[in-house]
DNA sequence: CTCGCTGTATTACCGAACTAATACACTAGG
DNA sequence: CCTAGTGTATTAGTTCGGTAATACAGCGAG
């Protein structure tokens, strides 16, 4: 059975269908979901989350496009047998994509690479705590 | 006089007012714009760029909120005398903000920090070229 | 004081993205 | 078959961010 639980925040700026995709991908990387595991039906999950089945369907469809899940007409989706490979490749691709804007910014600002790396290293280590010594002023957006 | 030239791309997904902000900030960091330098009038610049004066005004206003420029009623904006400090502080704040999602992702994926750092270092070094040795398959968005 | 410049508050418009409603197609079990 | 489950194509509705139009307010040289 799939006792997977999803948490979504409708008020988040990240659209629901993407929150879902992210969580499913994450569950695969952590091994909570394995190849051939069934995903919740669109209706069941949509009810649980309080959204429309199409929203769930959209997430599933996009994941299928990425080769992460497999579609079976009339039957629930399952985690693709190739998902593991997908994830491995994704880890790199995803991180690179995520890092790209930062790298561009750093270069644009002509920052010292060592300094930038040090900052990133620090953030990797203790991600939750606020910062080393810096007043963070912003009520940004 | 201010022979500063701005290049914007209306078809870019980044909104015009933000493109403007970025370029002004950048010009300050590179020294092309110094404290007390006058910025182009909203009308002049808007005409040159083919956009509405309000769009330019929006960029200026947001930069003022950040303490990057100073507003003078009835007169053009000028680069704030504190802009240099702003930039220094910004460099750190901006990079941190930009790096934050990547750090979270890396931790979420339980990636090896060293690996992540290596990737970032590589990206900092040669930002333009494609990649070190990795099949990049994606027609993403 | 007036003209020509500056900026912008307010309002309206537009388009794209996200979500929802509806109706239809497939599958398996009884 | 028939039913109760599955997914989804199509269409419509809503929201929100960005941009534009308009009209108004401050400054300074003449």
pLDDT digits (tens, 9 = 90+) for A26-39: 899 888 999 999 99
Q: What is the pLDDT along chain B (141 residues), one digit of tens a residue?
A: 447 899 999 999 999 999 999 999 989 888 899 999 999 999 999 999 999 999 999 999 999 998 999 999 999 999 999 887 777 777 788 888 889 889 988 887 778 899 899 999 999 987 654 444 333 333 333
Cβ separation B123–A101 shorter than 8 A: no
Q: ipTM of this complex > 0.90?
A: no
B45 and B21 together in one domain: yes
The span from the CA of A140 to the CA of B5, in Å, is 28
Asked if strand C contacts B64 at the CB level, meaning under 7 A, the answer is: yes
Residue B131, domain member (yes or no)? no
A77 and A97 together in one domain: no
Residue B121, domain member (yes or no)? yes
Asked if strand C contacts B35 at the CB level, meaning under 7 A, the answer is: no
Domain containing B113: what range? Answer: 85-125
Residue A20, domain member (yes or no)? yes
A24 and A71 together in one domain: yes
A20 and A80 together in one domain: yes
Contact B44/B62 with Cβ under 8 angstroms? Answer: no
Average pLDDT over residues A1-26: 89
For chain D, which bases have at least one atom within 7 A of a protein Cβ? 5-10, 17-22, 25-28
Q: Residue A111 — pLDDT band, cuts 50, 70, 90?
A: confident
A25 and A75 together in one domain: yes
Residue A136, domain member (yes or no)? no
Cβ separation A105–B98 shorter than 8 A: yes
B117 and B78 together in one domain: no
Where a domain ends, among B82, B114, B135? B82
Q: Compute CA distances A112 → A107, A109, B100, B121, whole Å.
A: 9, 9, 18, 11
A70 and A49 together in one domain: yes
B66 and B116 together in one domain: no
Q: Which residue is nearest to nucleotide C22 (CA to C1')?
A: A54
- Cβ-nearest to B127 among A89, A103, A111: A103
Task: Give the sign of the dihedral formed by CA A18, CA A23, CA A24, CA A30.
Answer: positive
Where a domain ends, among A59, A84, A109? A84
Residue A1, domain member (yes or no)? no
Residue B112, domain member (yes or no)? yes
B46 and B100 together in one domain: no
A30 and A78 together in one domain: yes
The tally of domains found in chain B comes to: 2
Residue A113, domain member (yes or no)? yes
Asked if strand D contacts B13 at the CB level, meaning under 7 A, the answer is: no
Tell how far CA A14 is from the center of its chain: 11
Contact A64/A82 with Cβ under 8 angstroms? Answer: no
Residues A38-86 have pLDDT tens digits of: 999 999 999 999 999 999 999 999 999 999 999 999 999 999 998 877 7
Cβ separation A110–B134 shorter than 8 A: no
Asked if strand C contacts B38 at the CB level, meaning under 7 A, the answer is: no
What CATH number does residue A26 fall under? 1.10.10.10
A59 and A79 together in one domain: yes
B25 and B76 together in one domain: yes
Where a domain ends, among A35, A64, A84? A84
The helix (run of H) or strand (run of E) holding residue B70 is strand B69-72
Q: Compute CA distances A61 → A12, A42, A78, A114, B84, whole Å.
A: 22, 11, 12, 42, 49
The span from the CA of A69 to the CA of A35, in Å, is 8
Q: Which of residues 70-99 of A touch B (CB under 8 A)?
A: 89, 91-99
């Amino acid at each position: 059975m799939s006792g997977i639980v999803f948490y979504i925040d409708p008020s988040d700026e990240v659209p629901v269908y993407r929150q879902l995709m992210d969580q499913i991908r994450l569950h695969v990387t952590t091994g909570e979901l394995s190849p051939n595991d069934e995903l919740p039906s669109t209706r069941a999950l949509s009810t649980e989350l309080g959204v429309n089945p199409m929203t769930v369907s959209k997430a599933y469809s996009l994941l299928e496009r990425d080769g992460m899940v497999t579609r079976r007409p009339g039957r629930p989706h399952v985690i693709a047998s190739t998902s593991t490979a997908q994830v491995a490749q994704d880890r790199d691709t995803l991180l690179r994509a995520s890092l790209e804007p930062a790298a561009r910014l750093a270069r644009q600002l002509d920052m010292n690479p060592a300094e930038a790396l040090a900052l990133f290293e620090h953030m990797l280590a203790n991600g939750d705590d606020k910062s080393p010594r810096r007043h963070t002023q912003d009520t940004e957006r």
